[in-house]
Structure 1
Amino acid sequence: MTGPQGSALNPVFLGLRIGLHSLVLGLVVLVIATAGAAGFPGAMVLTIVAVVFLGSYAFGAMLGRSLAGTGRTGGAVGAIRSGAWAAPAWLGVLTAEWLVLAALSAEAMYLVFPLFFLYLHVLAGWRGPVAVLVTTLLAILAFGNQRGFSVGGVVGPLLGAALAVAIGLAYRSLAREAQEREILIGELLTARSRLAAAERAAGVQEERGRLAREIHDTVSQSLSSIVMLLHAAERSDPAGGAAAVRMRQARDAATAALAETRQFIDELAPPMLRQGTLVEALERLAAETGRTSGIRIGVTVAGEFEPLPTRYETALLRIAQGALSNAVQHAGATRIDLTLSTLDTEVILDVVDDGVGFDTAAAGPAPGTAGTGRTSFGLRAMRERVAELGGTLTVESAPGTGTSVVAGFEVGE
């Protein structure tokens, strides 16, 4: 008897298995020790059959452990279930050997008790209890034939069978619970691995975004200033002397470096932005979110939208992702509208849902997600991202009226 591999209940199953093996060994020793009462040649036949019975049992147990070790099944004795015929054949051999022993010795009748546990453990469904019932009747007949029928000779096997069935059912329940726990633990470990991978990916992307912003705000801006200064210096020397030639060469080199820097910044952008424009990324995001959530999501672009610096497009995409996630998880919305608007140097992203809404006054300075009054990590992250770029984030909501999340930026190089 064993349970699922890796189970926290393995010590219990190990104890049951050792107990079963010890019971079989002790009863076989008892049969051999009392074999002398059968006289010659009955004692020799009884001893030989008892040893064969023990060998058959040990063979099945070792075969089960071998199959369990290869991962073909989850148990030792129970591992012989991997063959459709192996379990019944093995138990049939043990039962036949036990019948020979029981016909020769009354003490051999007690070997039926470990057989009860094997029937219940190895044979699935109704076959186990039926096998227990049949062997119980055979044990009563064998004992009566040897010692005469008595109340004890009838009640003893019946009580033993009832106890074996009760223990067998409890064992099955315990094994099933252990297996369910192992499945749950496996699912939790898988979920934890996926979460860790997602967190690593998010951390990498966040670091890429930070590097892009730092490079843009330092190297890119400095190169832009150098290009403008050199261009101004060129215009101040209309004669086009040697100094003007050197300045033009320096300006060309700075312009090439600026182009390479901007390309590097673009490559650090989120994958969705590298596959197309911000508008296309928002449309793909809305389509994917709508497909997985079943919520209708519309995307509208107001005004002439031109490509923005990478740090602004990244921020707008992340804010849209956060707002959609909040609305899907908490708002109970049936419709979400995402609008991207431009006005002179200002760009505005508006995400509106028709969900349950919440009381922004009760939520305090860091209101909860749509549909809740609790502080939202996602909303806090949006506020921090907007603040880094000097923008504003406004959340408007009331119970029963839905929620609007508006992010606005003044865009500049």
Structure 2
Amino acid sequence: MRTDRRSPIDTKAFDTKAFGAEAFDTEAADPDAGWLATVMHVAFFVLLCSSLTRYLIVHPGARTTPWVIILAIVLALLYVLGPVLGPQQADGRGAPPSTASRFWLAAVIGVWFTLVVLAPSFGWCVVPLLYTSLRSLRTRSAIVLVGLITLCVVAAQLKLRLRFGFDPNLMFAPFAGAAVATAVFLYSQRQADRLRTVILDLVRTRRELAATERREGTLAERQRLSMEIHDTLAQGLSSQQMLLQAADRLWDTDPVAARRHIRTAESIAEHNLAEARRFVHDLAPADLAGGGDLADALRTLAERESSDTLRVLFHQDGTPATALPDRVQAALLRIAQGALANIREHADAGTAAVTLSHLDDQVVLDIADDGRGFDPALSREQAVRGHGLPAMRARVRQLGGALTIESTPGEGTVLTAVIPLSPRP
């Protein structure tokens, strides 16, 4: 059984040996995170340049101008080092950022804070820095840092504009904006974490399902192999053993009959060899090869199974409107082989009849004998332990059919296999 169906989830983004959160590749699983970070980085440098340009235009020749320029350059250089020193993505509940990333973030915030004190217009850089802080720190630390950054911006703006009077928007709007931005970011991050967990569960379930299907396929293949071997090679070897034992007993008293048994055993061995070769190549039964139909194969089987002690007759009732499916023909032939082998070994019968009936919506195979019979209720446990009847039931069940056995001690046995056929259009 093959299980190569492709899932829409790309499992390359996940570790092949573990399914923990640390195995999740954020950029591979969420390509949007990459362009969002790029937008924030570009926005930071645009705001930094525009703030520096505004300062130079509004405060030409100021004493703090060289310091502002130097600090702006230092801030840009520190920000460029972010991919090297800063964490790619911090988990709100996972491991803390490294020491290098903490120092990097502290340096960036410190230089930016100094710039805001010297030139409040650099407060516009706060939005990308808020995003960087939220990405770099765990949730509680990030919220505290966002609050301090927002407080710094408000203080700088108030110092700049106190001469114009108290402005409530200037006092409260930055906090409200920072709170909204932080809430949206944290909400999106937690939604992403939930989605990540769902994807990991889906991948784990998919792999477990694939493993289960492989196990089921292995078991089904083992069952198929056991049925094929039991119904072909094992039955043939059993027949050869019985014929050779009979020849050995008659060799001195009736050499003609002994040779006849040996020739029959040789014929069975030849047939078994053909079955084995076709079995290895996963082909149809030898009796069905060469374009023969099921009726011809059953007739050949009846002739081959007939002997001095057992006479096997074949009869066909009705004709099929269309050719039976190959798998139905193969299954019914194997059932007939197994049933006749059981009759030969256990029934002590003189006559057996194989009847193939074609009805409108089903095909029926009956194998009857006049042997010693048995009590099906008392023999059920023995049948389960054996291979013949369970193999027959499995073949019929795979085709959606039913197998029934009617027997009475001393009155023979009738085995019936009914296979439904797909309705013709």
TM-score normalised by structure 1 residue count: 0.53
1:4 to 2:21 alignment: no
SS of equivalent to 2:381: strand
Asked if 1:173 is matched to 2:193, the reply is no
Quick one: which amino acid aligns to residue 112 of structure 2? W
1:21 paired residue number: 41
8 Å Cα contact 1:23-1:114 kept in structure 2:
yes
Deviation at 1:200, TM superposition (A): 2.0
Please list, as runs of the form range in 1=range in 2, the aligned pairs for 1:185-264 lying within 5 A after superposition.
Answer: 185-238=199-252
Superposed CA offset, 1:131-167 (max 9, x none): 3333333323323434435467662363233222212
* Alpha-carbon shift at residue 113 of structure 1 (Å): 3.5
- Matching residue's letter, 1:33: T
Residues 229 and 131 of structure 1, relative CA distance in 2, 3 Å threshold = closer
Aligned to 2:170: 156
Partner of 2:70: 48
Give 3-state SS (helix, strand or coil) of 1:172's partner. helix
Tell me how far 1:119 sits from its aligned partner.
Answer: 3.5
Asked whether the equivalents of residues 47 and 125 of structure 2 are also in contact (C-alpha less than 8 Å), the reply is yes
How far does residue 349 in structure 1 lie from its aligned partner after superposition? 9.5
In the alignment, the residues of structure 2 paired with residue 387 and residue 107 of structure 1 have an alpha-carbon distance, to the nearest angstrom, of 80
Contact 1:102–1:143 (Cα < 8 Å) also in 2 = no
Contact persistence 1:53–1:97 (CA under 8 A) = yes
Contact 1:31 1:50 in 2 (8 A): no
Deviation at 1:53, TM superposition (A): 0.9
CA contact (8 A) 2:97 2:137 kept: no
- In the alignment, what sits opposite 2:380? 346
For the 8 Å contact 1:231–1:251, the answer to whether it is kept is no
1:34 to 51, 54, 75: 54
Distance 1:33 1:116, change over 3 A: same
Contact 2:90 2:97 in 1 (8 A): no
Point out the more displaced range, 137-146 or 215-224.
137-146
CA spacing shift, 1:345–1:137, aligned 2, 3 Å: closer
Deviation at 1:49, TM superposition (A): 0.4
Uncovered stretches (5+) of structure 1, i.e. residues with no partner:
262-311, 313-340, 351-379, 393-408
CA deviations on 1:297-340 (whole Å, 9 max, x unpaired) are xxxxxxxxxxxxxxx9xxxxxxxxxxxxxxxxxxxxxxxxxxxx
So what's the TM-score if we normalise by structure 2?
Answer: 0.51
Distance 1:95 1:48, change over 3 A: same
Indicate how the Cα distance of structure 1 residues 196 and 85 shifts in structure 2: closer, same or farther if over 3 A, else same.
same
Q: Are 2:137 and 1:137 aligned?
A: no
Partner of 1:354: none
> How many residue pairs align between the two structures?
273
- Corresponding residue for residue 315 of structure 1: none
Q: Within 2, Cα distance between the matches of 1:123 and 1:58?
A: 18
Identical-residue share of aligned pairs (%): 25
Q: Deviations over 1:328-356 (max 9, x none)?
A: xxxxxxxxxxxxx9965432899xxxxxx
Pair 140,200 (structure 1): closer, same or farther in 2 beyond 3 Å: closer
Deviation at 1:178, TM superposition (A): 1.5
Shift of 1:52: 0.7
- Cα distance in 1 for partners of 2:203, 2:75 equals 44
In structure 1, distance between residues paired with 2:259 and 2:382: 45
CA contact (8 A) 1:143 1:149 kept: no
The one-letter code sitting in structure 1 at the alignment partner of 2:380 is: E
Offset, 1:106: 2.8
Inter-partner Cα distance in structure 2 for 1:131 and 1:190: 37
Rounded to whole Å, the distance in 2 between the matches of 1:116 and 1:217 is 75
Deviation at 1:381, TM superposition (A): 7.8
Cα 1:148–1:221, aligned 2, differ >3 Å: closer, same or farther?
Answer: same
Partner of 1:124: 138
Separation in 2, partners of 1:154, 1:51: 34
CA distance in 2, matches of 1:157, 1:4: 37
Measured after TM superposition, the shift of residue 56 of structure 1 is 1.3
Equivalent residues in 2 for 1:54-69, closer than 5 Å: 54-64=76-86, 68=88
Give, in angstroms, the shift of residue 30 of structure 1. 1.6
Q: 1:151 to 1:84 in 2, by over 3 A?
A: farther
Q: Report SS of the residue matched to 1:83.
A: coil
- The amino acid of 2:126's aligned partner reads V
1:149/1:342 CA distance change after superposition, 3 Å: farther
Q: Distance in 2 between matches of 1:89 and 1:15?
A: 26
Change in 2 beyond 3 A, CA 1:342/1:149: farther
Distance, in Å, in 1 between the alignment partners of 2:248 and 2:141 is 99
Change (3 A) 1:25 1:135: same
Kept in 1: contact 2:85–2:104 (CA 8 A):
no
Cα distance in 1, alignment partners of residues 49 and 62 from structure 2: 19
Gaps of 5+ in 2: 1-24, 276-341, 343-374, 385-392, 406-413, 416-425
Query: Is 2:118 the counterpart of 1:104?
Result: yes
In the aligned structure 2, how far is the partner of 1:116 from the partner of 1:150?
Answer: 28
| Cα distance between partner residues in 1 of 2:404 and 2:217 | 23
Question: How far is 1:175 from its partner?
Answer: 1.6
- Provide the C-alpha distance between the structure 1 equivalents of 2:395 and 2:232, rounded to a whole number of angstroms: 24
Larger Rg: 2
Kindly report the root-mean-square deviation, in angstroms, between the aligned alpha carbons of the 2 structures: 4.6
Distance 1:237 1:128, change over 3 A: closer
